[in-house]
Amino acid sequence: MEKKEPAFEEALAELEQLVSKMETGKLPLEELMKNFEKGSQLVKLCRKKLEALECKIELLTKDDGNSGEWQEFQGEVSNLRNAPSPLDDAPF
């Protein structure tokens, strides 16, 4: 059975918890590395979700004569913009 991808808010909350634990400086090195790896995965997931949402918003707000009808974004999101992400300052 495939594991369901967490919602953006859940992933961000988990990332914040990991960062808080890591910032204490009291974790053993092995646990620190596991948290770092998990945090890196969470940052990647959050970026992917934000980029997909950004594309949806662009489609919704685009003046194409459809009166702002919602259209699902089709395709893979990959570096569509060079703008900095809100997660660029993440420690991972």
State residue 67's pLDDT score: 60
Angle ∠(43,45,51) on CA atoms, nearest 5: 100
Low-confidence ranges of the chain (pLDDT < 50): 79-82
Both tokens of 59, joined, read: 């489609």
Q: Residues 50, 15: contact at Cβ < 8 Å?
A: no
State residue 61's pLDDT score: 77
- State pLDDT tens for residues 9-35: 999 999 999 999 999 999 999 999 999
Domains and CATH numbers, the chain: 8-61 (1.10.287)
Q: Would you say the pTM of this structure is higher than 0.75?
A: no
Q: Residues 46, 87: contact at Cβ < 8 Å?
A: yes
Chain position carrying tokens 């953006």: 8
